[in-house]
Amino acid sequence: MIHKVSRLFSGVKPRGDKGSVELSRNIPRHVAIIMDGNGRWAKKRGLPRVAGHREGMKAIRRVTRAADELGVEVLTLYAFSTENWKRPSDEVSYIMKLPVDFLETELPELIQRNVRVMTIGSEEGLPSHTVEAVHKFKNETRHNTGMILNFALNYGSRSEIVQAVQSLMDQVEKGTLKRDDITEETFNQALFTCALPDPDLLIRTSGEIRLSNFMLWQLAYAEMWFTDVMWPDFNEALFKEAIAAYQQRSRRYGSVE
């Protein structure tokens, strides 16, 4: 497969056989991915947009396996944003059925791999069959102690931040929290991701170079890696290339070496 990586942001030179990259050190604890390009992948092939989402499921399987085998602790996938409700109703309906299909096909392997499924976002507005599938995923994997596979479903970062502010204000008004006690840490605890470390690496596919309202607070110091490859074509070799690029970065968090 021929692909073009946005080298300005990837920070790594072409390596020929990407699958041969040795990755044995400095694996990011938390990798977040904006899975973009399903619709365009399908359109390019003269297929309905839903065909791209169906093919994108295979990419999720590939990357989940690769992340687990490399020792990534948390893999967060941007599955459906609060803005995605603006898409055609038939496409939204199809996307909302994907958790059910994913449950039927992937749950046994996730259990075998000791992967725990989590979600961030709001259940409000989601169809009952989607919510039921998500709850079953969480329940069936809740005792697993391996990698966390975290889906951002009906998620928007600005909404998350507003809800966190409102929660902290409620505590101040009730007298259970003082204004001066509101710190970065207490704010973190009010977010959907309170139980997770911040992402170390953000990957976005399809050539777009923006965050699209995804984990705006949590990505403050994440390394970013962008590729022109559409999500349905994203594979283990590209995932490893992104990890290799991350390993070449110097993360100073505002200080000097």
The answer to whether the annotation marks 128 as part of a ligand binding site is no
Q: Read off the DSSP letter of residue 10.
A: H
The answer to whether the annotation marks 87 as part of a ligand binding site is yes
The answer to whether the annotation marks 145 as part of a ligand binding site is no
The answer to whether the annotation marks 204 as part of a ligand binding site is yes
Closest CA to 222 of 242, 190, 251, 185: 251
Q: Is 101 considered catalytic here? A: no
The answer to whether the annotation marks 54 as part of a ligand binding site is no
The answer to whether the annotation marks 252 as part of a ligand binding site is no
Residue 175 burial (10 A CB sphere; 0-12, 13-18, 19+)? exposed
Helix (H, G, I), strand (E, B) or coil at 213: coil
The answer to whether the annotation marks 81 as part of a ligand binding site is yes
Q: What span, in angstroms and rounded, lies between the C-alpha atoms of 254 and 257? A: 10
The answer to whether the annotation marks 98 as part of a ligand binding site is no
Q: What span, in angstroms and rounded, lies between the C-alpha atoms of 152 and 60? A: 13
Q: Edge to edge, what strands does the sheet with 116-120 contain?
A: 116-120, 148-155, 74-81, 30-34, 201-204, 223-226
Q: Is 84 considered catalytic here? A: yes
The answer to whether the annotation marks 37 as part of a ligand binding site is yes
For Cα atoms 28, 193, 69, give the angle at the middle one, nearest 5 degrees.
30
Catalytic site residue from 36, 68, 200, 233? 36
The answer to whether the annotation marks 212 as part of a ligand binding site is yes
The answer to whether the annotation marks 157 as part of a ligand binding site is no
Per-residue CA distances from 95 to 24, 25, 74 (Å): 36, 36, 23
Catalytic site residue from 17, 26, 68, 84? 84
Q: Read off the DSSP letter of residue 82.
A: G
Query: Bridge-partner residues for 223, per DSSP?
Result: 201
The answer to whether the annotation marks 83 as part of a ligand binding site is yes
Q: What are 108's two structure tokens?
A: 């046994």
The answer to whether the annotation marks 146 as part of a ligand binding site is no
Q: What span, in angstroms and rounded, lies between the C-alpha atoms of 206 and 92? A: 20
The answer to whether the annotation marks 71 as part of a ligand binding site is no
**Binding site for Mg(2+): what residues are annotated?**
36, 223
**Binding site: what residues are annotated?**
36-41, 49, 53, 81-83, 85, 87, 204, 210-212, 223
Catalytic center residues: 36, 84
**Binding site for substrate: what residues are annotated?**
37-41, 49, 53, 81-83, 85, 87, 204, 210-212
